[in-house]
Amino acid sequence: MLKNLQEIMNGGAEHALHRLWSDQLSEPEAAAIQARATGDPKYRDDLDGLLAVFDSIEGLDGDPAVEEVIRDYQRLLHKRRSIVRVALGMAAGLLLAVSATLTVFSISRAPDDGHLQKHFTRVGEQRTIELDDGSVVTLNTAGQLVVDYSGPMRRILLERGEAYFEVAEDPARPFTVDLGLRSVTAVGTEFNVRKDPQHYQVAVIEGAVAIGEFADGAAQHRLEAGWVGEFDVQRNLLNAFQPESMDRYAGWRNGMVSFSREPLYQVVQELNRYTRKKILIEDTTVMDLSVYIIVNIHEIDAALDGLEGLLPIEITRHYDRTVITGSTGD
């Protein structure tokens, strides 16, 4: 920061202009620029002239040669260096597309970029990750996230799945989870984020979070502890509600998922997240049976046995799938 100030005081007008357009112009810097511009007519002339030139660059909007530079720079710059980083900054749709490609190529390979860490879990796996600042992230089944601590913000890109965040407090460095269309900024807190293709869900266990509508988080909704926010991607709708219990959103970290009076098809949907051998209901009459059960996600088979004991259903295990039908009643 001191370096910036010195460059403003002693360097050419380009330093002042560079700081003026940065996101982090400080009070002393603004004062120094003003002082220098007032005290030194030549500098003032330089700065004004440079700014005029800088402003007129926008007039090149639509110029083919200029657009080409912007369009093709990725091809022209070092190609290999950072697909991941490009992904972080891009529009949401593109983001999803890029990350989908990445899963194919980079699963189980260490990221080649120093300060971007990529983490993933397989189906049925849960993993706890300790971040450099002391924050802890638990990544649920079939999840994928990228940690970017290189900038002024602590930035997590949740590409897929569900993650529980225990954020170490640092007011100077906001902690933000990017979901593509929305971002969640923690205000010293514990929260759970789940990203399904059509739904993003944020549950606040402790503290509060801000859900941003814009890329950089302007115009935010604040969500307090005990609340769950659900964003419907297709309808672009954000709902908030207070569930009776936060167990669902926090309890999975112990490997336990509890269901209290939920229809069977929803329970099955949920269990299917944790197993490769998918469970299918092939009998519409049992779909809505009410289920009250606690499941160990590492023992889905045992859970199915339990369900069979509790409900009028029959379970048939095939080599590639498990099928639920109504019991024939004997």
Partner 1 sequence: MNPRKDNIIDLASAQRSDRKRVVQALFERHAEALRLFLRGRSVAPDEIEDLLQELFTRLMGAHRLEEKMADSTGSSRSYLLTMANGLMVDRWRKEQVRNAHADAVRNDDQGHADELSPERIVAAQLELEAIKAVILDMPLNWRVALLLQRMRNMSYEDIALHMGVQVKQVDNYLVRALRRLRKARRKIEAAGERSC
Q: Which of 2, 10, 39, 78 binds partner 1 (CB under 8 A)?
A: 78
Span of 103-111, 223-231, 291-299, 305-313 interacting with partner 1 by CB under 8 A: 223-231
19 binds partner 1 (CB under 8 A): yes
> Do residues 157 and 146 lie in contact, with contact meaning Cβ atoms separated by under 8 Å?
yes
Span of 158-166, 216-224, 249-257, 318-326 interacting with partner 1 by CB under 8 A: 216-224
Q: Distance between CA 160 and CA 238 in Å, rounded?
A: 19
Q: Which of 2, 57, 110, 172 binds partner 1 (CB under 8 A)?
A: 57
Q: Which residues of 265-280 are buried (b: 16+ CB within 10 A; e: fewer)?
A: bebbebbbbbbeeebe
104 binds partner 1 (CB under 8 A): no
Span of 100-108, 121-129, 159-167, 212-220 interacting with partner 1 by CB under 8 A: 212-220
Q: Which of 273, 266, 306, 270 is nearest to 290 (CA)?
A: 266
What are the tokens at 110? 């260490």
Cβ-based nearer residue to partner 1, 109 or 318:
109
Q: For residue 324, with 0-12 CB atoms within 10 Å meaning exposed, 13-18 middle and 19 or more buried, which class applies?
A: buried
Q: Distance between CA 241 and CA 243 in Å, rounded?
A: 6
Cβ-based nearer residue to partner 1, 254 or 266:
266
Position of tokens 């923690």? 186
Cβ-based nearer residue to partner 1, 77 or 302:
77
Cβ-based nearer residue to partner 1, 78 or 318:
78
Judged by CB under 8 A, the chain residues 151 through 180 that form the site for partner 1 are 151-153
What one-letter code names the amino acid at 138? T
What one-letter code names the amino acid at 20? L
Q: Which of 5, 9, 25, 129 binds partner 1 (CB under 8 A)?
A: 25
What number of chain residues touch partner 1 (CB under 8 A)?
Answer: 81
Q: Which of 197, 237, 319, 329 binds partner 1 (CB under 8 A)?
A: 237
310 binds partner 1 (CB under 8 A): no
CB atoms within 10 A of CB 72: 10
226 binds partner 1 (CB under 8 A): no
Q: Which of 26, 101, 285, 316 binds partner 1 (CB under 8 A)?
A: 26
Q: Which of 22, 101, 103, 245 binds partner 1 (CB under 8 A)?
A: 22
Q: Which of 37, 129, 250, 323 binds partner 1 (CB under 8 A)?
A: 37
Distances (CA, A) of 286 to 113, 194, 271, 305: 50, 28, 16, 16
Q: Distance between CA 309 and CA 189 in Å, rounded?
A: 40
250 binds partner 1 (CB under 8 A): no
69 binds partner 1 (CB under 8 A): yes
Span of 28-36, 117-125, 287-295, 321-329 interacting with partner 1 by CB under 8 A: 28-36
Which H helix or E strand runs over 211? strand 208-212
> Rounded to the nearest whole angstrom, what is the least distance from the CB of residue 57 to partner 1 in the complex?
4
Cβ-based nearer residue to partner 1, 38 or 128:
38
Contacts of residue 250, Cβ cutoff 8 Å, sequence gap at least 6? 164, 190, 192, 203, 205
